[in-house]
Amino acid sequence: MQAVFVSVLILILCHAAPLCAGYNDPMKFTCEYNLGNCDTCAWVVAEGVIGSNTDQVFSSFLKRTRDRTAHTSLTVEMNSPGGDLQAAIRLARFIRKLGWSTHVGYHNVTTTTDGQKVTVWLGASPKDDPELTASKCMSACAYAFLGGVARDVQEGGELGVHQFSDPQNSSSNAQLLQGGLAQFAVEMGVDPKLIYVAAASTSARAPKLTVPTRAQLEDWNVVTNYRRDAGWSIEVQRAGVVAAVYGHGQTKASLSVYCFDDGSFRVAYKWAPRLVARFIGKPREMARELGEYGTFVVGVTDNEKREDFEGLGDGHIVARGPAKNLKVADDGELSLTIPVDQTGLGKLRDAKRIIFELAVPHALYGWAPRGYFTTAKAKENLDVALKNCIQG
């Protein structure tokens, strides 16, 4: 099946107007940063037409920039009219293996006073700068985009799909191709409806681009950054169970609550930060400074949209203190285990939203990564976890 699927992949380019120099040139990768000091201040730009060797170009790029791209979770900002479908799928799997995210938003290139060219950060919008141009990820690029662990299309950006066919116009090959693409979508965690919509996007003369709506992208799990919170669930761990929830915010994070058989309770916060500029390639050095200078706060609020602790009194605080026991894994994931009491557990059960913040005023000039968590299904799952404590 896979051999047949690969054999019918063909090169199709979408004829979209160039957004900036390089859009219609062979795809290039650049490591960019906005000269800021934050966990999302560095990213990778992928711009241009995807060629048959683009995945090899990407591999060479990683080797050249390993001091800045290794051991960190980055976002690939995409701006491409499409290209070689087979290479796009290989690129998607490459990005997924790295654990990186993908994004389509706005872009611009400015020159700083010291002559450095800097692409505007992926979170920028025309409200910040009217000269920004919306990025596009069309045709084969849409399949490369699916490789992101987290994926988002910013308002104004476009993700377009269309039908791919083989040169011999064989209906059997077309069915095999569509089936292979549907299988790939499932592999990436995406609803195959995207493939069926693409297959219907054709005209008498040439493939017709379809740009799915935001609601469709969310429903099909094409974009993940703003999907509805799934709530708390139970996970098995070390002869016991933990109640866990996965959050959103400036970092990809999880929060788990559990007890030990001695009657003590813990909250564990884990996250995979995008390293600030001066720590790229040095996750352990960053963890060391975070642990030495950082202070954490775990708090709760009845406001489901609140993103900070400003104005909240001590009654909303579950736990706070120094981050001295912060640990870093080989893959760069950071974790912090925090003791809590019965009062703190009660606050977690009854709140509408949980906020975690790690402030490092000395080492990182006030930078404070935050994670936000829903309390949906918290009560029932906390009850199960606290009746099945971890042994030892």
Q: Could you count the other beta carbons within 10 Å of the beta carbon of residue 282?
A: 16
**What burial class does residue 277 get, using C-beta atoms within 10 Å of its C-beta: 0-12 exposed, 13-18 middle, 19+ buried?**
middle
What does the pLDDT read at residue 205? Answer: 47
Q: Could you count the other beta carbons within 10 Å of the beta carbon of residue 176?
A: 17
Q: What is the mean pLDDT of residues 178-192?
A: 85
Residue 232 has pLDDT above 80, yes or no: yes
The architecture (CATH level 2) of 2-219 comes to Alpha-Beta Complex (3.90)
Predicted confidence (pLDDT) per residue in 329-351, tens digit: 776 678 899 999 999 999 998 88
pLDDT-based confidence at 22, cuts 50/70/90?
low
d(CA 95, CA 99): 6
Residue 15 has pLDDT above 80, yes or no: no
For the chain, the average pLDDT equals 76
More confident residue, 155 or 319: 319
**What burial class does residue 385 get, using C-beta atoms within 10 Å of its C-beta: 0-12 exposed, 13-18 middle, 19+ buried?**
buried
3-state secondary structure of 284: helix
Q: What is the mean pLDDT of residues 66-95?
A: 86
Residue 72 has pLDDT above 90, yes or no: no
Q: Choose from 49-53, 61-65, 185-189, 268-272 the range with maximum mean pLDDT.
A: 49-53
Residue 27 has pLDDT above 50, yes or no: yes
Residue 289 has pLDDT above 90, yes or no: no
d(CA 160, CA 335): 38
Predicted confidence (pLDDT) per residue in 372-382, tens digit: 888 888 888 89
Could you tell me the residue ranges of all domains in the chain? 2-219, 233-385
Residue 8 has pLDDT above 60, yes or no: no
User: What is the CATH T-level fold of the domain 233-385, as seen in this structure?
Assistant: Immunoglobulin-like (2.60.40)
What does the pLDDT read at residue 252? Answer: 62
Residue 132 has pLDDT above 60, yes or no: yes
For 105-249, strand residue ranges (E) read 106-107, 109-111, 117-119, 133-134, 136-138, 151-153, 158-160, 233-237, 240-246, 248-249
Residue 207 has pLDDT above 60, yes or no: no
**What burial class does residue 320 get, using C-beta atoms within 10 Å of its C-beta: 0-12 exposed, 13-18 middle, 19+ buried?**
middle
